[in-house]
Amino acid sequence: MIRVLLASQSGGIETAIRSSAALQFAGRVALSHGPADLAGDVLLVEAGDIADQDWRSLADLPIPVLLLLDAPNPDLAAAALRTGIRGAILLDSTPDEIESAVRAVHAGLLVTAPELLADPHAATHCTEDRIEDPIEPLTARELEVLDLLAEGLSNKLIAHRLSISEHTVKTHVASIFAKLGASSRTEAVSHAIRRGLIML
């Protein structure tokens, strides 16, 4: 169970967290008070509440931060990711999208909504020294599959872990290979590590 803290007034996000069997709503925090004790595993932050916030200070928090944007803003998302914030999604994301994004950042992956990918670098790295050739961004679900590939799980086990069909897993794996330019699981994981998509 992933404990999720929320720095947002959105009732919809809280409802989505509470409706997930994989997530636990751990309460709301007020960033303006500079919380020192973050009793959670992932912090969801609404960008509208921190317009003047230093992104670096959020990235330096002891738990990963997932940014919530009320409208598509690729420049803002890219700027946040470059400081070390682990992900950016839209405030009106579906409960499944929210759960997938939280699970991805909790696993140490980088996640971005498709609508926030005008800058191709946004989903391939979070610091300038990681820049490689731009690739087509992976979806939140593909990032989850990639993380499980890195753990050495079979398609059948990945399907069980994510509660999806084995056929769907094969489709995701094929897409991951194509996007990373890989021909094997080992090669895909190797490329992903170099691009900062996986943290081991």
Q: How much is the pLDDT for 49?
A: 53
* Nearest residue to 171 via CA among 132, 141, 130, 147: 141
Residue 149 or residue 198, greater confidence:
149
Under DSSP, is residue 92 helix (H, G, I), strand (E, B) or coil? Answer: coil
Per the CB < 8 A criterion, the answer to whether 68 and 90 are in contact is: yes
pLDDT category of residue 196 using cuts at 50, 70 and 90: low
pLDDT tens per residue, range 145-188: 988 888 888 899 999 999 999 999 999 998 888 888 888 888 88
Name the token pair of 148. Answer: 């499980």
- The answer to whether the Cα torsion of 20, 143, 5, 52 is positive or negative is negative
Where do the domains of the chain lie, and which CATH numbers do they carry? 2-122 (3.40.50.2300), 138-200 (1.10.10.10)
Which helix (H) or strand (E) is 5 found in, with range?
strand 2-7
CA 40 to chain centre: 16
Q: What gap in Å lies between CA 98 and CA 115, rounded to an integer?
A: 14
Burial class (CB in 10 A: 0-12, 13-18, 19+), 75: exposed
| Low-confidence winner among 44-53, 113-122, 139-148, 158-167 (lowest mean pLDDT) | 113-122
CB-based contacts of 95, cutoff 8 Å, min separation 6:
15, 16, 19, 20
Under DSSP, is residue 175 helix (H, G, I), strand (E, B) or coil? Answer: helix
As a whole number of angstroms, the longest Cα–Cα distance in the chain is 49
Residue 134 has pLDDT above 50, yes or no: no
* Nearest residue to 105 via CA among 94, 97, 114: 97
Scan for tokens 């094969």, then name that residue: 170
Residue 118 has pLDDT above 80, yes or no: no
Indicate yes or no: pTM above 0.85.
no
Q: How much is the pLDDT for 193?
A: 72
pLDDT tens per residue, range 57-112: 787 888 888 989 888 888 888 778 777 888 888 888 888 888 888 888 887 777 87
- Of all residues in the chain, what percent carry a pLDDT higher than 90? 14
Q: How much is the pLDDT for 126?
A: 37
Burial class (CB in 10 A: 0-12, 13-18, 19+), 48: middle
3-23 average pLDDT score: 88
Residue 200 has pLDDT above 60, yes or no: no
Per the CB < 8 A criterion, the answer to whether 80 and 51 are in contact is: no
Residue 128 has pLDDT above 50, yes or no: no
